[in-house]
Amino acid sequence: MPEGHTVHALVGRLNRAFAGHPVSASSPQGRFAQGAALLDGRVLLEGSAWGKHLFVELDGDAWLHVHLGLIGSFPVVPLPEGLRGLPAARLPVTGQVRLRLVGTEHVADLRGPNLCAVETPEEVAAVQARLGPDPLRPDADPAPAWERIRRSTRGIGELVMDQAILAGVGNVYRCEVLYRHRVDPFRPGTQIRRSTWQAIWEDLALLMPLGVAYNQILTMEDQVAEAVDEVERGMAAPHPPGLTGERLGAHFERRFYLYQRAGEPCRTCGSRIRSMPVAGRTLYWCGRCQRRG
């Protein structure tokens, strides 16, 4: 499932391609024909993200609400020179496209979402009110998440995946961040120290923007240090505009401390990495390294 950084990166692509201009909206698949008709011809004002939810504001108080779910994708692709200016209906379609947005120079095709709806501002506000703080939002306050965590008897490995507690964190960030701080994923929230929660939050606030910039999750310390250095020196700036969302970024080698390494040796202590389903996804952890509360 796309994690929060993927949706925030998508927002950037949509805004760069369409913000401030009218868009042509259609549903080549036909399943969203009525919704697309409500959006067609409106000016796209601004997209935003809260966790794994995408919200796109268009003029006239119309909001597009998308949740990509497990398999959804929404790449924003430059139109080839030969196709620019053609009516949207004449552009080629690949696969089952639920919603297509077309501007003067770009096309965005939504495929396989869990949710695609046109909503009112009040409905959008109600969805956002149910979500926990998002480490990628500048207005995020981690305090409400901590209040819920410290009162819960559920394990921290389950709590950080609860979008009503912490929005945007998926399985990869869960496994890797808990390992980075040596936190026992089964330790109940009532036994988690506030300093531990603060360290987890601050680490997510460091790592997830790197995911936006490079369109890949970076958690290995050497890669994180290199990425942070590139961002600080402005070397990462060319990456986001060049990414379309069609595939993962490849600037860094894809490797992790734990994720999808069940049975392999821990990179720190050499003991076998364990795995089991927790909160609907496979949790990976090191029983020797992760004992902290």
Q: Is the pTM of this model over 0.75?
A: yes
Active site residues: 2-3, 52, 281
pLDDT tens-digit map of 34-72:
999 999 999 999 999 999 999 999 999 999 999 999 999
d(CA 118, CA 238): 33
The two tokens of residue 83 are 């196709």
The answer to whether residues 216 and 248 touch, using CB atoms and an 8 Å cutoff, is: yes
The two tokens of residue 116 are 């695609």
CA distances from 191 to 135, 156, 164 (A): 23, 9, 20
CA distances from 39 to 24, 82, 104, 152, 186 (A): 8, 26, 16, 42, 45
Query: To the nearest whole number, what is the mean pLDDT of the chain?
Result: 96
pLDDT tens-digit map of 169-189:
999 999 999 999 999 999 999
Its sign, for the CA torsion 40, 46, 47, 48, is negative
Q: Categorize the per-residue pLDDT at 85 as very low, low, confident or very high, splitting at 50, 70 and 90.
A: confident
Query: In this predicted structure, what is the pLDDT of residue 189?
Result: 98
d(CA 96, CA 33): 13
Query: In this predicted structure, what is the pLDDT of residue 240?
Result: 85
More confident residue, 129 or 94: 129
Query: In this predicted structure, what is the pLDDT of residue 179?
Result: 98
> Which domains are assigned to the chain?
4-129 (3.20.190.10), 143-285 (1.10.8.50)
Q: Is the pLDDT of residue 89 over 80?
A: no
Query: In this predicted structure, what is the pLDDT of residue 87?
Result: 76
